[in-house]
Structure 1
Amino acid sequence: MAGPFGDTPIGLSSQILNLASVLMRKLHLKVPRYQRPYTWSEREVRQLIEDLRRAFKRGATFYFIGQIVLVKNRGKLEISDGQQRLTTLTMIMAYVRDRLPGRAKHFQQLIMDGDHPRLILREEDASFYRGYVQEPGQIAAMAKLPEIGIESKDLLCAAAQTIETELKGMDDRELDAFMSYVARACTLNVVDADERGCAQTVFNTLNKRGSPLSGADIIKSDLIENSKLSDAEAEAAARKWEQTEAMFERENFAKLLDMMPFLLTGEQILSPGDLAAMRAAVDKAGGVRTFLFEQLPRYAHALRAIFAGAVDVGSASAEVNRRIRMMKQVEEWDWAPAAIAFLAEHSGEPERARRFFQALDRFTFACELSVIDNRVQQGRYSRAVTHCDDDKMLYGPKGALELTDGEHLKLLATLNKSRKRDRQRRLLLIRLEAAMPGGHHLQMTDDVTVEHILPKNGGAWWNERFPDAAMRTEASNLLGNLTLITYDQNSTAAARPYADKRKVIFNTQGATIYALSRDIVPIEEWTMRAIEERHEKLVRILCEDWGLIQGGGQGSQAA
């Protein structure tokens, strides 16, 4: 019975459901056209599977993965928030369905409602997803597809590869039990709204309003109040904590605390804000007094210098800050604990810092370019943290930051291949610009975009000079065919002839001419040979900057 002020607002409801119940609702789920496409990388897919597997192995009653927001529209439930998780979970289910023919019908009912998909992606990806994921027997083929050049589809294929890699070690019986657990115990808070405006309000409130949640206050209270400090020590510790916290924005201080168990012990924390893991790491690394008065302030100053781009390592400062600025453009900051640990101990050793950050820079981008097996990345970063003062452990045979012969060759092959993914291509061009003589230190947020001198889609003038369509497509995405210009310049250049493009690049008033563009000044005709020779030159510059080949290796440009 409703109270004097009513109960649930009209047009809005919320309930806790497991994954099976979400997928088997009467109205099917649809990703509307205004939503972004699938964006999860290998990292997010792997993390989801690892989290689910840990919950399964410890027999957790449920595993909560957050809220999804749905809005009713034309007989479907539009997903306002939650499509990345639902898309990935459906792919995991499809993998298990295809692996276990005897259980295929059982799991397929969660994927398809007769002839109708229970989850419908954006129009651009819906038929691709249905053909390879929702129709039985095709997800293994999807995992083997070559790069398509459409980012959302390439990421879906990469997700299929990651799912196969992560789950192939389970035997059939365990895999069946695991998937049944996920369908039953993977839990979501489902918010239903009758109107898009209402759904958007809920989404914004859940994600943006109020102070960002952090375990900082709880951790502070536990460490100070429950560690047998004297009253004077507790007051001094509280002041020290507050001074350290004031150095950062709230969410950045929370990031530092989340890194602390890894920094102290080299052991990855299972979930952010895990108080037990934090306390265990502090005890293992010397106790509360050491942590509060020595370790936390020292690590905090190192991280603050990284955020500010003001790391002081003497004569190596310019080069090290250049490398850090480039690593900060990578989406995941897995490199940061190793950098913090090194700076906290060795900031007064310029040559040692020069070598360490060259190796960390190289290893970070090798991870970003999928050269380092994702299953060993965390372990090698952990070794870099715990052995940052032992050069043999860092650079010797099987060193944490040293590329193996196979990884070295794979990185070279990756740099030499045609680059079709927009973000990765742009990131690599920004990194290459920073390695060139007189190059700029750009950020991913700057007004800078990738210009294909030979256009990706050709054009009348270009097709006459590059008549082979397949060769033209491949050559257009090589590093040797790319440069950096502003978004407005890119729109103006379009598919114009080479001479006209040069005018756009070099004669646009107020536009910066980057080192990558200055490099094409002496090239009067844009031919396949010109692309190949420039490509070889650019790859060499980057490899020299990373110390992969002789000729540079200490930073090939003035910082």
Structure 2
Amino acid sequence: MAISATEKPLSRVFMSDYRFVIPSFQRAYTWQAENILQLVSDLQDASASANTPYFLGSLILVRDGESRYQVIDGQQRLISLSIIIAVLRELETDPVLLSELDELILEPGNKLRGIKAEPRLRLRDRDAEFFRSYVQEGDLEGLFDLRDGDMETHAQRNIAVNARQVFDELAKLDDGERHRFASYLVNQVTLVIVTTDDLAGAHRIFDVMNMRGVPLTASDVFKAKVVAALSPAARNVYAARWDDIMDPLGDDAQVLEEFFSDLHLIVSHKPVCTQLLEEFRADVLAAYVKEQNVISFIDELLAPYAMAWRVLDHPTDTALPDDVVRQLVLLNDYPTADWKTVAMWALVHSVGNLGSADAAVFTRSDDRSGNGGTTPAPREPMRLHDGTRLRTILQALERVTGVDSLNRQSPLTRRTRMANAVRGLDRDYTMPQNKGFLVTDDDRRSALAHLRGELQTNPKMNRLLLIRANEQQAGFRITRPRSLNALPIVPERVAKNSPFAAWPESLRDFWSSRIGNLVLTQANEQQLAPLQTFKERRDRMLLSSSSRRFPLTEKLGHIEELTAKTLQWRQDETVRLIAEFWNIRYDEGNTDLSVLDEQQLTRGSAPRTPTAKRVTIAQVLESGLLVAGETLVWERPRKGERWVATVTANGKLRLEDGNEYSSPTAAARAAGGNSAGLSVWKRTSDGRKLSEIWKAYRMQKR
């Protein structure tokens, strides 16, 4: 079995020497938005040091012909990198750079060398054409126009969501920043390419690389630094003390790095830490070492904050008051964890003995001392000396985390807010003085506009929003079942014999991604998918008594017939409840923002950068890029099919049968069963695809 391993930058990975194929036995693309956004954030931070390489791990490949390789390990990264490059290409206006980015994804071919033009990465058969059409061949506008029901697999949904999120993130950069990011990505991000000609051997390599050898963690490095600064007499005692503190956090290197990064922010007030080992030693440890007081670092900083970290991971197992536990549970709902820094600060400064080895932080029923329950339960009660401040901070923290999540703020923006909040807390500012907890009128309007419009959030965030609305309605914390999902009332895929098929396509299209159409239930997607009537879906959603704990779900039982008016009522009520929960219902002029529609909320505050938010026909009409009465055509010469659509003054496409549709995708589905609406419709006056017109509209925001 011949094995080779070389480290290469991406510019030497996405090239003619490699054609990557994902074997059918591999799992699908599973990265969530938080995974790819974390990668983008890490790369943005790393690109600040332009000459410092960023190692992205290894690829394990099996040769499958000349320059063709099966990917055994690394597909998640390859797909995510392809999405990032595709977004950079979409945002690029320089034709030379655009072409160079394009060649990283698509092999242009070379007849003399016998290289055919094709994508550099081929996914599993079920998702290959989707990925090729929308991402690799550059139809991101068509991708952004798709509804959830237009995608056949979870992998396709992940691709669509991640592309939208990356677009929104990178669109915030100006041309210079984006070019520096792209240059760093191509030249300084490296991968180790491990190749073999034997599939079984590749799996053995995978096992060895992932299961043998335990590299030093951040905790190991900092422990060595601290212990070296101790007197010989204290070394053994405090080495053991360090282990007692850190062992319960586990040995996951990424978790430990996140803990020390958060501790670095708390001490230094710096939102970004690109080189943790160096910056933590300089910004945190150096002062303790210089003053020969590293024991104080262990006892007064490391111990209480490590315990605070554990409390945040398991709030329901602690001896904290119920209302504090509830606030920590709400924070744990979020798919991001930037809030942890402020919550840790609040716990450490509100519980006097949080760092004591004898403090009864966790309950007897779930001892998390790290001793497997073999030691007696601690006897020293927790000393919560400033419960009012703790509750105030946690409530304000949950509020700004919710508003920032709805407004899809970048990791850097969220992290900067947390750094400002800790700085203000250290300076003993009042809550109104602390800019880390400030929510402006623009923040309120933007958040409510996102709630009113098409949700651009992932399933976890949709679930969180409905939990907030239901608990605000109930007036208390609702005990949640283990399985709890936010599912649509109107099915995503409507069968021809479904009563919902009688609804206009535009109406189904409008409600498919809005919060008024979502319900908290223990049912899952597979159970609801075959159910096509409202009564069947309602009864399945209400089948479990645990589902009926939630007031907005329970109210479904009082609805006999679902109408658009019913959905609008649910929408209005849900938006109002969430606005009240986060105290964003009224602006500084006491205007009730919860009753304003999406257009009223966004008027005068349009984003200055393009976003991946779905573009409507009405918006393009208003911009002048389309004109009412224009004719569009979709031709399929091989099938002898030709469909014609007319742009109406009210922002719809009218087919020749007289039916009108609110999106090009909906019109394409109705005409020829194809969901790639933006790429198939062409304007008859100049042959221009709608996807090109939509991109021109989106770029007007720059």
Judged with a 3 Å threshold, the aligned counterparts in structure 2 of structure 1 residues 201 and 410 are, in CA distance, closer, same or farther, namely farther
Q: Contact 1:313–1:350 (CA<8 Å) still a contact in 2?
A: no
Q: Deviations over 1:420-471 (max 9, x none)?
A: 644433343345445442653548xx32333322222234575458511221
Q: CA deviation at 1:188?
A: 1.1
Q: 2:311: which partner in 1?
A: 305
Q: 1:197 to 1:395 in 2, by over 3 A?
A: farther
Find out whether 1:64 has 2:55 as its counterpart.
Answer: yes
Query: What's the CA shift for 1:393?
Result: 6.1
Residues 161 and 195 of structure 1: CA distance in aligned 2, closer, same or farther (over 3 Å): farther
Matched with 1:53 is: 47
Aligned twin of 1:218: 221
Aligned length: 523
SS in 2 for 1:250: coil
Q: Which residue number corresponds to residue 11 of structure 2? A: 20
| C-alpha distance in structure 2 between counterparts of 1:461 and 1:133, whole Å | 34
Q: Is residue 399 from structure 1 mapped to residue 435 from structure 2 by the alignment?
A: yes
SS at match of 2:556: coil
SS of the aligned residue for 1:395 comes to coil
1:29 equivalent among 1, 16, 20: 20
Equivalent position SS for 2:548 = coil
Letter of the structure 2 residue corresponding to residue 294 of structure 1: E
Tell me whether 1:111 sits opposite 2:101 in the alignment: no
Paired letter, 1:118:
R
Which residue number corresponds to residue 231 of structure 2? 230
Normalising by structure 2, report the TM-score: 0.66
Instruction: State the 1:345 CA deviation.
Output: 0.7
In the alignment, the residues of structure 1 paired with residue 431 and residue 65 of structure 2 have an alpha-carbon distance, to the nearest angstrom, of 59
More off after superposition, 520-529 vs 416-425: 416-425
Instruction: Give 1:13-412 correspondences, 5 Å limit.
Output: 13-33=4-24, 34-37=26-29, 39=31, 41=33, 43-56=37-50, 59-60=51-52, 62-73=53-64, 76-90=68-82, 95=88, 98-102=92-96, 108-113=102-107, 114=109, 115-123=117-125, 126-127=128-129, 129-130=131-132, 134-135=136-137, 142=141, 145-146=144-145, 148-149=147-148, 150-166=157-173, 168-170=175-177, 175=179, 179=182, 182-208=185-211, 213-226=216-229, 229-251=230-252, 255-268=258-271, 270-271=273-274, 273-284=276-287, 288-310=294-316, 317-347=321-351, 348-388=385-425, 392=429, 394-396=431-433, 399-412=435-448
Local SS of the residue matching 1:292:
helix
For the 8 Å contact 1:96–1:179, the answer to whether it is kept is: no
8 Å Cα contact 1:453/1:483 also seen in 2: yes
* Structure 1 residues 25 and 204: CA distance shift in structure 2, 3 A: farther
> Whose radius of gyration is greater, 1 or 2?
2
**Equivalent-residue separation in structure 1 for 2:297 and 2:517 (angstroms):** 51
> For residues 272 and 512 of structure 1, do their structure 2 counterparts lie closer, same or farther at Cα, with a shift above 3 Å needed?
farther
CA distance in 1, matches of 2:143, 2:538: 40
Kindly indicate whether residue 481 of structure 2 is the aligned counterpart of residue 481 of structure 1: no
CA distance in 1, matches of 2:270, 2:330: 26
8 Å contact kept, 2:22–2:71: yes
Equivalent in the alignment of 2:591: none
Aligned partners of 2:143, 2:501: CA distance in 1, in Å? 34
Instruction: Give the counterpart letter for 1:412 in structure 2.
Output: L
- For 2:541 and 2:165, the matched residues in 1 are separated by 35
CA drift of 1:163 comes to 3.0
The aligned counterpart of 1:535 is: 571
Contact (CA 8 Å) 2:468, 2:581: kept in 1 or not? no
Q: Which one-letter code corresponds to 1:416 in the other structure?
A: R
Structure 2, unaligned runs of 5 or more: 110-116, 149-156, 352-384, 587-702
**Alignment correspondent of 1:555:** none
Secondary structure at the aligned position of 1:64 is classed as strand
1:497-516 equivalence runs, <5 A? 497-507=533-543, 512-515=547-550, 516=552
Structure 1 pair 38/126, CA: closer, same or farther in 2 (3 Å)?
A: farther
Contact 1:125 1:153 in 2 (8 A): no
Give the superposition deviation at 1:72: 3.4
1-side partners of 2:467 and 2:73: how far apart? Answer: 32
Question: In structure 2, what residue type is equivalent to 1:359?
Answer: A
Find the residue that maps to 1:334 and give its secondary structure: coil
1:218 aligned counterpart, secondary structure: helix
Amino acid corresponding to residue 422 of structure 2 in structure 1: V
CA distance in 1, matches of 2:259, 2:295: 18
1:70–1:81: 8 Å Cα contact kept in structure 2? Answer: yes
Q: Is the 8 A contact 1:393 1:399 kept in 2?
A: no
Once the two structures are overlaid, the 10-residue window that deviates more, 356-365 or 11-20, is 11-20
Using the TM superposition, give the Cα deviation of residue 274 of structure 1 relative to its aligned residue in structure 2, in angstroms. 0.9
In 1, are the aligned partners of 2:73 and 2:206 still within 8 Å (CA)? Answer: yes
**Identical counterparts, % of pairs:** 22
- CA deviations 1:346-402 (Å, max 9, x no partner) are 343233222211221122223333443554221111112222256746434x72122
Report the Cα distance in structure 2 between the residues aligned to 1:493 and 1:147, rounded to whole angstroms: 19
Q: Distance in 1 between matches of 2:196 and 2:584?
A: 55
Is the 2:58–2:191 contact (alpha carbons within 8 Å) kept by the matching residues of 1? yes
Q: TM-score normalised to the size of structure 1? A: 0.81
Superposition deviation, residue 225 in structure 1: 1.1
User: Counterparts of 1:312 and 1:85 in 2: how far apart (Å)?
Assistant: 38
* Mapped pair 1:424 → 2:461: yes
Q: Conserved in 1, the CA contact under 8 Å of 2:521 and 2:542?
A: no
Equivalent residue number for residue 3 of structure 1: none
Q: 2: CA distance between counterparts of 1:162 and 1:143?
A: 19
| Structure 1 vs Structure 2 CA RMSD | 3.6
1:368 is paired with a residue whose SS is: helix
CA apart distance, 1:336: 0.6
> Aligned-pair distance for 1:65?
1.9
Separation in 2 of the partners of 1:159 and 1:407?
21
Where 1:78 maps in the other structure, the secondary structure is strand
Alpha carbons of 1:166 and 1:67: their partners in 2 closer, same or farther (altered >3 Å)? farther
Determine if contact 1:449/1:486 at 8 Å carries over to the other structure: yes
Question: Partners in 1 of 2:430 and 2:345 — Cα distance?
Answer: 15
| Distance in 2 (alpha carbons) for counterparts of 1:123 and 1:493 | 23
The code of the aligned residue for 1:353 comes to L
How far apart in 2 are the matches of 1:436 and 1:184? 53
Whether the 8 Å contact between 1:309 and 1:324 is mirrored in structure 2 is yes
